[in-house]
Every structure is written in structure tokens, then in C-alpha cells.
Amino acid sequence: MARSLGELAARVGGEVVGDPARRVEGIRTLDEAESADLSFLTSARYLEAARTSRAGAILVGRRTEGLAADQLVVTDPARALAELLDWLYPEPAAVAGVDPTAVIGAGAEIHASAHVGPYAVIGARARVGLGAVVHAHVVVGEECEIGDGAVLHPHVVLYRRVRVGARSVVHAGAVLGADGFGYATQGGEHTKIPQVGDVEIGREVEIGALSAVDRALLGSTSVGDGTKIDNLVQVGHNVRIGRGAILCGQAGIAGSARLDDGVVLAGQSGVAGHLTVGRDVRVASKSAVYESVEAGTTVAGIPAVAIGAWRRQQALVHRLQELWRRLRALERRVGGAARDGEEGP
């Protein structure tokens, strides 16, 4: 449904530069937007694209010269964009009730307002909270707990005794509570160590498609409130992740590592087992953490070191060919001088 630019501004506490009566029918990227669309400029690198965009209005962080479009000026464009997308493109509400094809175990408790979709399986003594959504083909194991308003997308699998906090979202194909990777090896034979712990997912956590959080050997593997996990992320057994962490795609955390609040692991980075990564640490993409990292540090590389040291290392690597040529030239000069000396009287 079309809204006026003024209505959008009121929704996000913004200011209109231009015509507040402009009708906005949708939100699209700068290169796709047309005159009836609102687009967005969240980074200066896209300024030229904003100047050439056909968008009727553009969401910006400050008044911007050279834009042909009307402007919706806000303090934080990314946050305002999220709010507008949520308002204009709401997720369809799930209908309360249990589909006739679902399989419900003995003693399971499902709130009357919850939704359990086709062919879902709810194990014995599991609990599904108020307004929770369990989509088609989800498997919820015995004694699991699904918090109020939590959403499990199709083909999510929860092994026994997994707890998912209120308003958390688990995307398709994620597996929570599979056995941790633990074996005792002797004489070339691997003996499985039973993994008898559980998994605790906090409130307002989001777990991406095809990610895995393994159950603990003993105790709990835990993910703190507000943490966001991308697709294809591996969280090993007995890992403890604090509040508000960000784990980007294909990151991996080995068993018993601890990540404090606010840690960010960029894509394809990894943390070795039994380490502590301090509060607000940033780990660059494709980096491997082999030692504990102090709070507030940014690290990069394999093995990961402080970002300043890594940059100096990279600068030297780029100069290696030049340094090698200079070294060879020096060796030739020194060698020639030595031979000249040997040939003297």
C-alpha cells in the first residue's frame, strides 16, 4: 500500500527535504528504483549511484547535495531502513493451531496460540510457548523448550533438551544439539565420547540456514541473548557465546572456546578450542585465532595477530620481490668484491 513520504518520515523520526506528499509505493535499491520508490544511501561509496538513481526519494543520513530525488533525512539510515522494511513488508502471521499431519509426542505442551505446521514432529515432554511458530517438517526433540514468539523455519532439527529463547529465529536446515565432535583415540582407533549435555539458545537470537550448534559433552553449549549467527556457521560443543555477538558466514568455533559479549567473527574465520575471545573483539575474515584475545582488540591473519601488526606483515609481503632483487644485487656486488680481493697480490 502506498504511503506518503511524510508518513514514512513520521514513522522513523526523520525530516523530508522536498515534497512530503510524494507517494511511495515500495523500497528498492538505487539501481532498480523508479519514481514511485524510496531508495537508500547508507554508505558514501554509493553517492554517485544515488546521484544517477531514478528513485523518487532517497533515505539519507544527512542532507546531500546533488541528488535529484526528494530526501528523507534520519540519524541512522540503516536502522531506519530496517524499521521501514518491517513496517511496509510484514511477515504473514502464522495461524494458531496444530496441523493434522503433525506428530505430537506424549506429554508435549503446545500453547493454544502457537502454530505447528504440516508434518512437524514435537517430541515427548517438549514445550512450545505462546505465539511460537514451528513450520513444516521441523523436528523438535524430547524435552525441548521453544520460547514465546520463537520461530523455527522448515527442516530445522532440534535434538533432545535444546532450549530456544523467546523471539529467537532459527532458519531452514539448522541443526541444534547434534553430538559434539569428541573421540578418544588409541592405537589408531577412535572411541566416541558420549555427549550428554545440552544446548541453551538465548532470547532474540537469530541462527542462519544450515548452521549447527553442537550439544555439550557435559553442561551446556550456550548462545547469549541478541547474538546473530549467519548461514553455515559451526559452533562446537561446550562453546559459550555472550550477548550481542555476530558470527558471519562459514565461521567456526572449536569446542570449549568462550566468546564474550559483542564479539564479531567475520566470514570464514575460526577460533581454536579452549580459548577466550574478549568482549568486543573483532576477528577479520579468513583469520584463525590460536591464542586468547584481550577485550577490544581487532585481529587478523593466520595465526591471528593485532590488526596493526598484520597490516605491517602484509606490507612486507608485497615488498618481498623487490627486497629479494635488492638482496641478490647486494650479494653479487659483495661476491664480486671478494673475488677481486682474492685475485690481488
DSSP string, 237-279: TT-EE-TT-EE-TT-EE-TT-EE-TT-EE-TT-EE-TT-EE-T
Asked whether residue 77 falls in the same domain as residue 193, the answer is no
* 237 shares its domain with 340: no
* Contact between 195 and 237 (Cβ < 8 Å): yes
Residue 83 C-beta-side C-alpha neighbours within 13 Å: 15
Q: Which residues contact 26 (CB under 8 A, 6 or more apart)?
A: 36, 37, 38, 88
Tell me: pLDDT of 339 over 60: no
Last-in-domain residue among 69, 88, 107: 88
**What is the tens place of the pLDDT at every residue in 199-237?**
999 999 999 999 999 999 999 999 999 999 999 999 999
Q: The C-alpha cell of 2 is what?
A: 502506498
Domain ends where: 70, 88, 106? 88
Residue 148 domain flag: no
Q: Give the count of alpha carbons within 13 A of 106, CB side only.
A: 0
Alpha-helical (H) ranges within 33-149 are 47-52, 77-88
Task: Identify the CATH number of the domain in which residue 281 sits.
Answer: 2.160.10.10
Mean pLDDT over 45-66 rounds to 95
Is residue 214 assigned to a domain? yes
Q: Position of cell 565461521?
A: 251
82 and 191: one domain? no
Contact call for residues 255 and 274 (beta carbons, < 8 A)? yes
In a domain, 118, yes or no: no
Name residue 59's amino acid.
Answer: L
Question: Domain count of the chain?
Answer: 3
Q: Is the peptide bond before 20 cis (omega within 30 degrees of 0)?
A: no
Residue 10 has pLDDT above 50, yes or no: yes
Write out the three cell numbers for 272: 581454536
The answer to whether residue 254 scores a pLDDT higher than 70 is yes
| Edge-to-edge order in the sheet of strand 15-17 | 15-17, 70-73, 57-60, 37-40, 26-27
Indicate which residues carry an active-site annotation.
Answer: 237
- Using CA atoms, how far apart are residues 225 and 196, in angstroms rounded to an integer? 24
- pLDDT bucket at 344, cuts 50 / 70 / 90: very low
Same domain, 257 and 323: no
Q: Is 137 left (phi over 0), alpha (psi -120 to 50) or beta?
A: left
Rounded (10°) angle between helices 77-88 and 5-12: 120
Residue 53 lies in a domain: yes
Domain assignment of residue 50, yes or no: yes
State whether 288 and 160 are in the same domain: yes
| Look-up of cell digits 568482549 | 279
> Is the predicted pLDDT of residue 345 greater than 60, yes or no?
no
Residues 160 and 298 in one domain: yes
Please give the C-alpha separations between residue 149 and each of 47, 109, 159, 341, in angstroms, as whole numbers: 39, 15, 20, 87
- 17 has which bridge partners? 71
At residue 274, φ and ψ (nearest 5 deg) are 65, 25
The predicted-structure confidence for 109-120, as pLDDT tens digits, reads as follows 999 999 999 999
Q: Which domain holds residue 276?
A: 156-303
Q: Is residue 205 part of a domain?
A: yes
Evaluate whether residue 190 is within a structural domain: yes
Q: What is the pLDDT of residue 91?
A: 87
Same domain (yes/no): 170, 255 = yes
Amino acid at site 72: L
Q: What is the pLDDT of residue 336?
A: 64
Do 264 and 299 have their domain in common? yes
Positive or negative, the CA dihedral 328, 329, 334, 337 is positive
Task: Flag whether pLDDT at 133 surpasses 50.
Answer: yes
Radius of gyration of the chain (CA): 28
319 plus 293 within the same structural domain: no
295 inside domain: yes
Percent of the chain with pLDDT strictly greater than 90: 92
Is there a single domain that holds both residue 191 and residue 267?
yes
- 269 & 197 share domain: yes
171 and 294 inside one domain: yes
